[in-house]
């Protein structure tokens, strides 16, 4: 299953706005394309519509869904979506599917829907509604906790014997850029505790013997003790830490290591509101683009410097003006 990443932005797609604007402050020849809906669910649909078009009628599409309210499983879900070649769509934890989500599932007519996470994050009621779309096949690879679920998803995504990215399982943003990088490199993403490697993660590493392991984030996120434990679990692998002084610089470091020769497109998302970045990571990976982070009103120096180094001419902005302002979309510096 492959994704046909569009090279030109779309205008308006039904109830979902895909706003296109020229970036006046982003430098000569740089354009800014904003993908946004009325809420995080609509924005994820806008990203899906922009990024994914079945190559032919009836192409078997796999859609990965995860909770748009609880992101414990979203980190690993993005690499699974990249492997399947389809979008990552956000759904409520419970209740009724938003109309925009239902319309997108109808458009994609999925052969399979993969639910990332257990019933506490995506309820059985939501699962039942997902069975009404496409071929009606729904698969839920869920473990007893976020670490085991991430290991299951990594097994589906493949890449456990090539490059494995490891991020903290706590609520920090180090995995945002890493999810896009893992998807691009054909790797996988696992989760760890700050001070100990969970059993599910340890088993996945020891069993699959990856060639390379990348620990995302600084020592306050993943301790030196965990870094050493990972090295012991993977004695034949090269183990590196990709980290910066903050979330914005960490995303820039990930971009630099993944795209050392530059990239024509960059995806830009909020570094404080994670929903849009998680939904956008598989699209960025398929488009050969890194995912960088910004504050709501201005672009940090580390992000701006990386966009310049990449030589990017297209900036795909994820989310509405409340999360990424017009000034930030135009790369106004902090």
The contacts of residue 23 (CB under 8 Å, 6+ apart) are 30, 31, 32, 315, 329, 330, 331
The pLDDT value given to residue 55: 82
* Burial profile 160-175: b = 16 or more Cβ within 10 angstroms, e = fewer: beebbbbbbbeebbbb
Sheet containing 12-13, strands listed edge to edge, beginning at the edge strand earlier in sequence: 12-13, 16-22, 31-35, 314-318, 265-270, 291-294
Please tell me whether residue 199 adopts helix, strand or coil conformation. Answer: helix
The pLDDT value given to residue 280: 97
Q: How many Å apart are CA 128 and CA 28, to the nearest integer?
A: 50
Task: Please return the burial class of 334, using the count of CB atoms within 10 Å of its CB with bins 0-12, 13-18 and 19+.
Answer: middle
* Tokens at 230, concatenated: 């990972």
The pLDDT value given to residue 195: 96
Q: How many Å apart are CA 62 and CA 141, to the nearest integer?
A: 14
- At 158-191, the pLDDT tens digits run 889 999 999 999 877 888 999 999 999 999 999 9
Name the residue among 244, 219, 230 with its Cα closest to residue 303. Answer: 244
Q: How many Å apart are CA 287 and CA 265, to the nearest integer?
A: 8
Is the distance from CB of 334 to CB of 295 less than 8 angstroms? yes
Crossing angle of helices 175-185/74-84, nearest 10°?
Answer: 20
- H/E run at residue 12: strand 12-13
- Dihedral of the CA atoms 38, 44, 48, 49 (nearest 10)? 0
* Model pTM score: 0.91
Is the distance from CB of 81 to CB of 30 less than 8 angstroms? no
- At 36-70, the pLDDT tens digits run 999 999 999 999 999 998 888 778 999 999 999 98
Is the distance from CB of 174 to CB of 247 less than 8 angstroms? yes
Q: How far is CA 187 from the centre of its chain?
A: 13
Sites in the chain below the pLDDT cut of 70: 1-29
């Amino acid at each position: 299953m492959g994704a046909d990443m569009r090279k030109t932005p779309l205008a308006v797609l039904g109830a979902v706005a895909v706003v296109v604007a020229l970036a006046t402050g982003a430098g000569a020849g740089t354009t800014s394309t904003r993908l946004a809906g009325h809420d995080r669910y609509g924005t994820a649909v806008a990203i899906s519509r922009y990024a994914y078009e079945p190559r032919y009628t009836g192409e078997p599409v796999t859609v990965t869904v995860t909770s748009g309210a609880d992101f414990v499983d979203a980190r690993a879900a993005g690499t699974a979506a990249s492997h399947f070649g389809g979008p990552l769509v956000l759904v409520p934890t419970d209740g009724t599917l938003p109309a925009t989500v239902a319309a997108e599932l109808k458009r994609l007519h999925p052969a399979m829907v993969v639910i990332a996470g257990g019933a506490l994050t995506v309820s059985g009621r939501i699962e039942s509604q997902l069975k009404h779309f496409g071929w009606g096949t729904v698969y839920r690879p869920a473990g007893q906790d976020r670490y085991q679920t991430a290991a299951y998803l990594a097994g589906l995504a493949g890449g456990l014997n090539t490059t494995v990215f490891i991020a903290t399982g706590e609520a920090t943003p180090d995995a945002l850029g890493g999810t896009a990088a893992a998807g691009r490199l054909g790797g996988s993403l696992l989760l760890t505790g700050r001070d100990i490697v969970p059993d599910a993660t340890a088993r996945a590493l020891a069993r699959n013997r990856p060639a390379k392991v990348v620990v995302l984030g600084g020592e306050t996120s993943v301790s030196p003790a965990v870094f050493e434990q990972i090295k012991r679990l993977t004695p034949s692998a090269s183990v590196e830490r990709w980290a910066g002084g903050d979330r914005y610089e960490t995303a820039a470091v990930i971009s630099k290591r993944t795209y050392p020769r530059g990239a024509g497109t960059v995806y830009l998302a909020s570094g404080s509101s994670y929903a849009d970045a998680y939904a956008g990571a598989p699209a960025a990976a398929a488009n050969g683009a890194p995912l960088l982070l910004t504050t709501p009103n201005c672009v940090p120096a580390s992000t701006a410097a990386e966009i310049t180094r990449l030589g990017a001419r297209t900036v795909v902005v994820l989310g509405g003006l409340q999360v990424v302002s017009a000034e930030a979309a135009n790369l106004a510096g902090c």
